[in-house]
């Protein structure tokens, strides 16, 4: 295994021209994934972006935004619940960008309903993306990083509901709790290869996903649209819901060598929220 590439190592002083590190971000056509992809590009990484076919238009636009900054990018349509598609996605990233240094398993969906109204098919569908998808991305990335002998950074999307429940998010909560467990297990197994594995746990982030949750919560509680977000915002110490950039700033740290001594953690970025 070669030493991690750092900004201030002796090697860098003798060979200033280091190739850019390369990242892959899933679910990057919008929301938090898009925010992370743009932030990593601003940090100087080349960034492959992924999303499903239905979001291929916005996905290409994100890749275009990255190349406009002077970094390389490639847009890869793939469903993260499909093992072959994930393997191919990692192969394409390494072909197009040289190698894979940072994997961000961000893609996820929410299902907002009581557990007793959640059928087995609903459960399996959500788990196939939120937990199986993260497992497939983590393992495909780890295999690539081990083959390269470079070490790397593997980072997953969990949530504050990986630490405590939230109304109507039972299955979602179970999937994110699973990501937390997977992150700890992977961190333990892959430390010997110089790979760190951590997860970010956002609170409320103003994205399309939260709009959907807000609408369902409002329906359930007989509130007007937007009222649920106002109600839960009052429980946030910092007095506002977050934006993708709030999460991307922390993921930028996890993806950098500043976090080299951190692994197996699932960290909340929630503005100090105090749900019951």
**Catalytic amino acids?**
172
- Ligand-binding annotation for 76, yes or no, is no
Least CB distance to ligand NAD at residue 208 (A): 4
Residue among 55 and 94 whose Cβ is closer to ligand NAD: 55
- Ligand-binding annotation for 205, yes or no, is yes
Least CB distance to ligand NAD at residue 205 (A): 4
- Ligand-binding annotation for 135, yes or no, is no
Least CB distance to ligand NAD at residue 227 (A): 17
- Give Cβ neighbours of residue 173 (< 8 Å, ≥ 6 apart): 159, 161, 162, 165, 166
Phi, psi (deg, nearest 5) at residue 44 = 105, 10
- Ligand-binding annotation for 80, yes or no, is yes
Task: By CB under 6 A, name the binding residues for ligand NAD.
Answer: 26-27, 29-33, 50-52, 55, 79-81, 106-109, 129, 133, 157, 159, 202, 204-205, 207-210
Residue among 133 and 151 whose Cβ is closer to ligand NAD: 133
Extract the tokens encoding 8: 């201030």
Residue among 159 and 252 whose Cβ is closer to ligand NAD: 159
Residue where the block lists tokens 């557990």: 115
Least CB distance to ligand NAD at residue 24 (A): 12
Residue among 41 and 236 whose Cβ is closer to ligand NAD: 236
- Ligand-binding annotation for 202, yes or no, is yes
Binding residues for NAD(+): 51, 79-80, 106, 172, 176, 202-207
């Amino acid at each position: 295994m070669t030493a991690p590439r750092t900004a201030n190592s002796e090697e860098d002083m003798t060979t200033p021209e280091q190739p850019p590190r390369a990242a892959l971000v899933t679910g990057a056509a919008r929301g938090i994934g898009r925010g992370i992809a743009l932030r990593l590009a601003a940090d100087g990484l080349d960034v492959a972006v992924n999303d499903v076919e239905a979001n291929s238009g916005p996905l290409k636009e994100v890749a275009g935004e990255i190349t406009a900054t002077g970094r390389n990018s490639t847009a890869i349509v793939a469903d993260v619940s499909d093992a072959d598609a994930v393997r191919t996605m990692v192969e394409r990233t390494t072909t197009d960008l040289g190698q894979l240094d940072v994997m961000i398993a961000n893609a996820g969906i929410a299902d907002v309903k009581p557990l007793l109204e959640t059928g087995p098919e609903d459960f399996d569908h959500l788990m196939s993306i939120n937990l199986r998808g993260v497992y497939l991305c983590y393992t495909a990335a780890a295999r690539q990083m081990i083959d390269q002998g470079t070490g790397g950074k593997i980072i997953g999307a969990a949530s504050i509901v990986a630490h405590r429940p939230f109304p109507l998010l039972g299955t979602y909560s179970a999937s994110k709790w699973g990501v937390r467990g997977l992150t700890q297990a992977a961190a333990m197994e892959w430390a010997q290869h110089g790979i760190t594995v951590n997860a970010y746990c956002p609170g409320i982030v103003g994205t399309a996903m939260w709009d959907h949750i807000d609408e369902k919560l409002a329906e359930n509680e007989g509130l007007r649209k937007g009222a649920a977000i106002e109600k839960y915002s009052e429980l946030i110490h910092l007095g506002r819901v977050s934006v993708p950039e709030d999460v991307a700033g922390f993921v930028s740290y996890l993806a950098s060598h500043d976090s080299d001594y951190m692994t197996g953690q699932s960290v909340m970025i929630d503005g100090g929220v105090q749900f019951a």
